[in-house]
Amino acid sequence: MGVEATSPSEYHFRKELLLDLTRAGRPIVDMDKEKVTEVEIDLFEFAGRGEAVPHAKTYRVRIDGETVKVDTSHPTGEALLAKVGKRPCAFELIEEFTHHDNDVVEPNEEVNLRKHGLKGFITAHKEIVTIFINNDPYKIERGERTVAQILQKVGKTPDGYVLLEEKGGPPLPVPPNVPVKICGCEVFFTQPQSGGSS
């Protein structure tokens, strides 16, 4: 049930009113759909007041206490982690609600930012993280690991292979007798020992 303009001047007036409201940062009334759309919404404020979150062009979302802007009401967990410089190979995203238990969000799961009571998100370092060896993902427990434990993931041993780690430059050999600190998202490559078996 839309509101129809009866004359060109009335149509022009409605168009100018919408533009004025948009410029003022006030709610925009979509006359054709009779739906209120906010220009920018702060989830924490709506959750605190117990109000339903309306459709918006932009949502202000708190992640670990930091406010970020999101331009969709259904971002993925991975996209939200990226807003605070974190990746799902090392961190998980957790929805925080005002009146019920928190929920873990999977990386490819879409989050409904308009969900009632959603006040924001926190992140937590995973205990079992993902590392990459020869471009393939492998799960491993976070903490200090030996070169042998990492090579074992791809069926190799330090007797026949060198472990290389990429840290913002070309891959460099990891000494076989030095523990490797695993936090998640590390990138490794294997290379046969010169003169070793393959």
The pLDDT confidence band at residue 114, using thresholds 50, 70 and 90, is very high
Query: What residues are paired with 191 via a beta bridge?
Result: 162
Q: What local confidence, expressed as pLDDT, does residue 39 receive?
A: 84
Element (H, E) at 2: none
Query: What residues are paired with 128 via a beta bridge?
Result: 141
Q: Is 4 exposed, middle or buried (CB count within 10 Å of its CB: 0-12, 13-18, 19+)?
A: exposed
The pLDDT confidence band at residue 168, using thresholds 50, 70 and 90, is confident
The pLDDT confidence band at residue 35, using thresholds 50, 70 and 90, is low
Domains 36-125 and 128-192 share a fold: yes
**What is d(CA 143, CA 129) in angstroms, rounded to the nearest whole number?**
10
* pLDDT greater than 50 at residue 185: yes
Higher pLDDT, 149 or 1: 149
In the 8-state DSSP scheme, what is residue 23?
H
The pLDDT confidence band at residue 131, using thresholds 50, 70 and 90, is very high
Residue 57 Cα distances to 25, 43, 196, angstroms:
11, 13, 60
Is residue 144 within 8 A of residue 109, CB to CB? The reply is no
What is the tens place of the pLDDT at every residue in 39-98?
888 999 998 898 888 888 999 999 999 999 999 999 999 999 999 999 999 999 999 999
Higher pLDDT, 86 or 18: 86
* pLDDT greater than 70 at residue 24: no
User: How many C-beta atoms lie closer than 10 Å to residue 156's C-beta?
Assistant: 21
Does domain 36-125 sit in CATH 3.10.20.90? yes
Q: Is 159 exposed, middle or buried (CB count within 10 Å of its CB: 0-12, 13-18, 19+)?
A: exposed
Higher pLDDT, 68 or 198: 68
**What is d(CA 119, CA 104) in angstroms, rounded to the nearest whole number?**
14
DSSP structure string for 43-101: HHHHHHHTPPPPEEEEEEEEETTEEEEES-SS-BHHHHHHHTT--TTTEEEEEEESSS-
Q: What local confidence, expressed as pLDDT, does residue 21 receive?
A: 44
Which residue in 57, 52, 82, 56 sits closest to 68, CA to CA? Answer: 82
CATH architecture of structural domain 128-192: Roll (3.10)
* pLDDT greater than 60 at residue 30: no
> Domain-by-domain residue ranges, the chain?
36-125, 128-192
Higher pLDDT, 61 or 14: 61
| This prediction's pTM | 0.73
